[in-house]
Structure 1
Amino acid sequence: MAAKKLAIVLPAYNEKEVIEKTTAELHKLLNEMVLSDKISAESFILYVDDGSKDNTWALVNALNEKYGNVFGLRFSANFGHQNALIAGMTHLTDTDVDYVVTIDADLQDDPQAIVEMVDLANQGKDIIYGVRNDRTSDTFFKRFTAQSFYKVMSALGVNSIPNHADFRLVNQKVLRAFSAYQEREMFLRGIFPLIGFNEAKVYYARAEREAGETKYPLRKMIKFAATGITSFSISPITFVRNVGLGIFGISILSLIYIVIGWAFGRTSAGWPTLMVSIWMLGGLQLVAIGIIGEYIGKIFLEVKHRPRYIIAEKIGE
């Protein structure tokens, strides 16, 4: 069997501090895999510059001249991490590339796990997920919120892989199936388990970020979680409806109780009860409007059919 051609796709946004070290490590890994006949000598690294404001793109150019197998796509603006991943995979769909690995440019995900991923792919697996075997490198807050997110997703019926981010290997069959998903607000961690095919997992320990800043601060994490939930489930709307029905039922019972009390002359001013009811119902209505608005907003974004990203420049073919 001929060795398979592998492409490693890395989204990069302001990664000047780590990109040279990352490239050197991945280039060494590719050479080792070529020497052991695991992959073709034509395998390469593809950076997707997500509108970086530093000299990340200039470094990609320099790395292309230095190694020869480092290529790049540069966005015209910052379109987001998920869109950078989509651009890399879309660019390689229906090409002579056999396997595509996506991994973050900071290499907190262990690149050595790619070797095991390729072995599993050569054995016939279509999607191989990189899964963290522990979260000790995270803060308590991030660990707690991440675990809570996966539990919520599971409770909502969304098939996701706990402790899996965007470190995965897919083959051309999966890429072609993925190309049929055209929604603009795409949650990749839920899409790929939905695609199916033969799946496997590779477990690894996640390292600390060596340099640069995280690209997922709290604000983006919350937005990312909301996108994941609303992209795959209408359960939040159903929940609000059920809560509304429950409160309506309680209000009917309260009305009956008040009427009976009035009939027997046991009435009171009821000021505390009145205020609590107003605040509770008012808050519930605002929450309900907000949740419904989130879904309407997603419809608004989808029906405009704007492009997910714009590629301004390429390095290599």
Structure 2
Amino acid sequence: MNEILYIVVPCYNEEAVLPETSRRLREKLETLAAMGKISPQSRVLFVNDGSKDRTWEIIRALHEECPLFSGVDLTRNRGHQNALLAGLMTAKDRCDMAISMDADLQDDVDAVDAMVDKFQEGCDIVYGVRSSRAKDTFFKRFTAEGFYRLMSLMGAETVFNHADYRLMSRRALEGLSQFREVNLFLRGIVPMVGYPSAVVEYERGERFAGESKYPLKKMLSFAMEGITSLSTKPIRYITLLGFLIFLVSIVMLATFIVKWALGMTVAGWASVICSVWAIGGLILLSLGVIGEYIGKIYLETKQRPRFLIRTVLEEDDG
């Protein structure tokens, strides 16, 4: 029996691109079903993340028009990661495998074929990885690759050049459901799930329509979220830095004592002022990093729901 595939697509203000996205995904599912690779019961599951435009109206219309389309409507905007998780957890008990991808069509839809092949070979997780960034501007390429290298340096395990385009089997989704943290960074959590995995390379295209939901400011915030959610290395680096500064201060104290014993005067205010500003800046930076972790502890202890679902479009709703 062919396995059921759900393609989970989080959407936030995507009315401009949804008609084309739905057309391509429908063609892909119908083609794979005709080839016998997936079950005809496979679906596209759109997740409306509190959109302010006509996104949910379009999703409802698609569902009424064709049973291949389903939808989840969140009560309010919860962010890309929470919306994606809501879709995956909704699909978990309905499918044998789920593929997550963005609505903007930058992820190559044709890579779905190779992902399904890898699944049928025994892989529970298949990562979609960009084959190159030749089409990116220098700034975009530099910041994006710097993002992955920074994550690795700070101890957050991620797959290089992989975003959220991936396939997960039902048992991998079951494993993911056991991670209960509120501060979600799925690119780092999914590798922790384990199970056999593989990589499928694809050429990432341009956004079909609409505006990017991840400008530089949001990417920096996303990186901070990932680092502090997955690693304590920044705090360890602060401890190491504090120890090194303490050693330097001991050396400086010994030097000043020797100079005082030899009757040599210690020159000027410049070194004193620089030291004060440097130490003050390091203290504020350290407090900021520690504050990030304390803030996350505060949010985790509240145990608030990561998302609330208003509506799920079922088969008999069409």
TM-score category by the smaller chain? over 0.9
Could you tell me which residue of structure 1 aligns to residue 180 of structure 2?
182
CA distance in structure 2 between the partners assigned to 1:117 and 1:210 by the alignment: 22
Distance 1:137 1:304 in 2: 43
SS in 1 for 2:285: helix
Q: Which residue of 2 aligns with 1:115?
A: 113
Summarize the alignment of residues 94-113 of structure 1 with structure 2, pairs less than 5 Å apart: 95-113=93-111
Could you tell me how far apart the structure 2 residues matched to 1:140 and 1:82 are?
27
Q: By how many angstroms is 1:114 displaced?
A: 0.4
In structure 1, the partner of 2:27 is 28
Aligned counterpart, 2:259: 261
Deviation digits for residues 63-121 of structure 1 (CA, Å, limit 9, x no counterpart): 1122222111111111000001100111122x241110000011100010001111111
Taking only the aligned residue pairs, the percentage that are identical comes to 47
Match runs of 1:9-28 below 5 Å: 9-28=8-27
Instruction: Provide the secondary structure at the position in 2 that maps to 1:25.
Output: helix
Instruction: Select 2:282's aligned residue among 277, 281, 284.
Output: 284
Q: TM-score, normalised by structure 2?
A: 0.97
Once residues 96 and 87 of structure 1 are traced to their aligned partners in structure 2, the CA distance between those partners, rounded to angstroms, is 13
Superposed CA offset, 1:112-153 (max 9, x none): 000111111111111000000011232322211221222222
TM-score, normalising length: structure 1: 0.97
Q: Secondary structure at the match of 1:201?
A: strand
Instruction: State the SS of the aligned residue for 2:311.
Output: strand
Structure 1 residue 208 corresponds to structure 2 residue 206: yes
Structure 2 CA distance for aligned equivalents of residues 128 and 269 of structure 1: 63
Matches within 5 A, 1:149-228: 149-228=147-226
- The aligned residue for residue 310 of structure 1 is 308
Identify the residue that residue 141 of structure 2 maps to in structure 1.
143
8 A Cα contact 1:5 1:99, kept in partner: yes
Deviation for aligned residue 1:40? 0.4
Contact kept? 1:158, 1:233, Cα under 8 Å = yes
| Aligned length in residues | 315
Contact 2:151–2:223 (8 Å) recurs in 1: no
Q: Which residue of 2 aligns with 1:83?
A: 82
List 4+ stretches of structure 1 deviating above 6 A. none
Could you tell me how far apart the structure 2 residues matched to 1:300 and 1:270 are? Answer: 46
Partners in 1 of 2:217 and 2:311 — Cα distance? 30
Q: Kindly state the Cα deviation for residue 269 of structure 1 after the two structures are TM-superposed.
A: 4.2
Per-residue deviation, 1:154: 2.1
| Paired amino acid for 2:77 | N
Output the CA distance in 2 between the equivalents of 1:196 and 1:250: 44
The CA RMSD over aligned residues, in Å, is 1.1
Q: Map Cα deviations across residues 220-245 of structure 1 (whole Å, 9 max, x no partner).
A: 11111001111111111111111111
> 1:159 deviation in Å?
2.2
CA distance in 1, matches of 2:234, 2:162: 24
Residue of structure 2 equivalent to 1:45: 44
> Which residue identity is paired with 1:301?
L
- Between the aligned partners of 2:269 and 2:79, the Cα distance in structure 1 is 50
How far, CA to CA, are the matches of 1:35 and 1:180 in structure 2?
35
Is the Cα contact below 8 Å between 1:258 and 1:267 reproduced in 2? no
Equivalent residues of 1:128, 1:168 under 8 A apart: yes
State the AA in 2 paired with 1:65.
Answer: E
Corresponding residue SS for 2:71: strand
- 1:5 maps to 4
Instruction: Deviation per CA, 1:162-218: give whole Å up to 9, x if none.
Output: 000000001111011111100000110111111111101100000001210001112
Distance 2:311 2:10 in 1: 15
